[in-house]
Amino acid sequence: MAQTPLTSRPLDLVYFGFFVSHIFASLCIDFQAIYPSALVPGFLRTFAQWYIHTSNDPFIGGMFGNDPLIWFKSFLCLEVFFQFPTFFIAARGLLNDSKKIYVLMLVYGASTATTVWPCVWTLLATPEPSPAALASGIATLSSDQRVMLLASYVPFFLLPLLMTVDVAFRLHGIVGEALSTREAVKRK
């Protein structure tokens, strides 16, 4: 079967761009929390500090502070050991029009959508600043911060969710075709 160019497969092109761009986002932002500080260039450290100060991101901010959310830290471990290698494998597979990566993409999409959903839900549930909230010391988000954070997190929920559904249908078609072929061979 001839390889279809990536540019002729619009969703695969979107997935490819997502995986490749996520490599840099993970290396430059997400993984800073686990790097020795001497290895982080000053401009990246400054960017992370600006982002945390501007957005009041409770997840990334917690990773850089003294009070990391343990469940979020477990998601960072998942990103390091599963998602990050998947970015390379999936990007290469998409570039080569390999159907063999569909199972990995399905697992990645489901896993990622599942781990980003609690972040989105937490952002939606975090109260706005009020005298009572500030006095209690709980995390708060202004309306602008919430919009900024949702604009950052929601695409990382929706695209993996789309990938999960899309690749599940692709696999359903492949499995259905294989079963039909097997049945046709049995009948001969």
Q: Where are the domains of the chain?
A: 6-187
pLDDT in tens, the chain (188 residues): 679 999 999 999 999 999 999 999 999 988 988 888 888 999 999 999 999 999 999 998 888 876 778 888 899 999 999 999 999 999 999 999 999 999 999 999 999 999 999 999 999 999 999 988 888 878 899 999 999 999 999 999 999 999 999 999 999 999 999 999 888 888 87
Alpha-carbon distance of 164 to 58, in angstroms, equals: 27
- And the tokens for 120? 């989105």
Q: CA-CA distances (angstroms) from residue 28 to 103, 107, 156?
A: 28, 24, 17
